[in-house]
A and B are shown apart, each in its own frame.
Chain A
Amino acid sequence: MMTSAHRFFSVILLLAAAGMCVGWADTWEGIQKGTGAIRTIKADFIQEKHLSILSKPFVSKGVFYYQAPDSLRWEYTSPVRSILLMHKGKMRRYTETGNGLVEEAQMDPQGMQIILQEIALWLGGRFSEDPTFAATLKEGHKIVLAPKEKGFSQIIQHIDLSLSDTPGIIQSVAIYEGQDSFTKITFQNAAINQEIEEALFLEIS
Chain B
Amino acid sequence: MRSSFLRCCLLLALLFQMISCAGAPGPVVIERPLRLNPGDTRCLAPFPDGEWQLVHSIHVALSGVSQTTLVGVTALDSMTGAVACVLMTVEGMVLFDARYDGEIHSRRSLPPFDSVAFARGLINDIRLMFFPPDGRLVASGRSGDGAFICRYRTADSMTVDVVVHEDNGWEIRQYDRDDSLIRSLKTDPDSRPAEKGPIPSRLKLTASGPAEYALTLDLIEAWELGK
- Using a CB–CB cutoff of 8 Å, the interface residues on chain A facing chain B are 47, 49, 51, 53-56, 58, 60, 74, 76, 79-80, 82, 84, 91, 95-98, 102, 104, 106-113, 115, 155, 175, 177-178, 181, 183
Query: Once the chains are docked, how many angstroms separate the CA of A96 from the CA of B94?
Result: 20
A51: contacting residue among B5, B7, B86, CB under 8 A: B86
Give B59's nearest chain A residue, CB to CB. Answer: A97
- CB A154 to nearest CB in B, in angstroms, measures 8
Q: Which of B155-210 touch A at CB < 8 Å?
A: none
Q: How many A-B residue pairs have CB under 8 A?
A: 107
Q: Are B93 and A110 in contact (CB under 8 A)?
A: yes
Which secondary structure dominates chain A's binding surface?
Answer: mixed
Q: Mark B82-95, 1 if CB is under 8 A from A, else 0.
A: 00111011111111
Q: How large is the interface on B (under 10, 10 to 19, 20 to 34, 35 or more residues)?
A: 35 or more
B225 near A: Cβ within 8 Å?
yes
B89: contacting residue among A91, A102, A106, A109, CB under 8 A: A109
Query: Once the chains are docked, how many angstroms separate the CA of A104 from the CA of B67?
Result: 6
A177: contacting residue among B66, B94, B216, CB under 8 A: B94
Which secondary structure dominates chain B's binding surface?
Answer: strand
Contacts of A79 in B (CB 8 A): 57, 220
Q: Are A80 and B69 in contact (CB under 8 A)?
A: yes
B150 near A: Cβ within 8 Å?
no
Contacts of B101 in A (CB 8 A): none
Query: Once the chains are docked, how many angstroms separate the CA of A177 from the CA of B87?
Result: 14
Can you pick out 29 interface pairs between chain A and chain B where the beta carbons lie within 8 Å of each other?
A47-B91, A49-B92, A53-B73, A53-B75, A54-B75, A55-B225, A58-B71, A58-B73, A58-B220, A58-B221, A74-B91, A79-B57, A95-B59, A95-B90, A96-B57, A96-B69, A97-B66, A107-B8, A108-B2, A108-B4, A109-B90, A109-B91, A110-B5, A110-B89, A110-B93, A111-B89, A155-B110, A177-B94, A178-B107
